[in-house]
Amino acid sequence: MAEVLVGIYGASGFGREVLPLVREQLKGSSAEFVFVDDGDVPAALNGCPVLRYDEFLGRDSPEKRIVFAIANSVIREKLADKCAKDHINTLAIKADNTVILDEVEVGKGAILCHFTQLTSNIRIGKYFHANIYSYVAHDCVIGDYVTFAPAVRCNGNIVIEDHAYIGTGAIIKQGTPDEPLVIGKGAVVGMGAVVTKDVPPGVTVVGNPAKVFEPRKGGARS
């Protein structure tokens, strides 16, 4: 029997990208790796069985750990709460080529994918996701359940509040110590957006410079 049963919660594409990071981080240990997913998915993926959550709980193992490979931050929080109630410990994942410099604090359950970088004097909350080629520069404060898609450029003196989602290739302009640029709670920064000013909570911004996205109302097209 393996000493640790490690579940990657989410058998989507991101979950399958995270699996090799988990294997590498725990190389040499007596660990068994499985996916945990309650959706309509195959019985096995990438050489690992896929278990429903109740099956994962029912497996006989001295220790269970879980990694949340779910991009949707609201679902990620619900799953984290569920696992905490069931006394399942979480596992933070860091790729072997991630760069972390001085005075960096990262909360529990983070996933830092390949080629990510956290420079200096940074505070990050719990269950942060940083996908490939993303960075966080100096003097940034990032809340809980924040998600970076690939190649996000988060420059210095920026505050990103809980549950914000930053899309692929987005660039966030550097703030100042006296007036950091703020991305509000639950805001979405679209793919390739260039953010030059504060983003209010709960809105979606797109474009260069980024502006609030307003869906087109119904009606005949010209």
The residue with tokens 């989602």 is 165
Within 10 angstroms of residue 7's Cβ, the number of other Cβ atoms is 29
Domains and CATH numbers, the chain: 4-91 (3.40.50.20), 94-208 (2.160.10.10)
CA dist 114 and 57 (Å) reads 30
- Is 138 a catalytic site residue? yes
**What does pTM read for this prediction?**
0.93
Alpha helices in the chain (DSSP H): 13-25, 53-58, 73-85
Rounded CA gap, 198 and 175, in Å?
Answer: 10
**pLDDT at residue number 218:** 63
pLDDT in the model for residue 89: 94
Residue 221 has a pLDDT of 47
Closest CA to 182 of 172, 190, 191: 172
Average pLDDT per consecutive 10 residues, the chain (222 residues; last block may be shorter):
90 96 93 95 94 95 95 96 96 97 98 98 98 98 98 98 98 98 98 98 97 75 42
Options 87, 114, 138, 163, the catalytic residue: 138
pLDDT of residue 55: 96
- Please give the pLDDT value at position 222: 38
Interatomic CA distance for residues 67 and 88, integer angstroms = 10
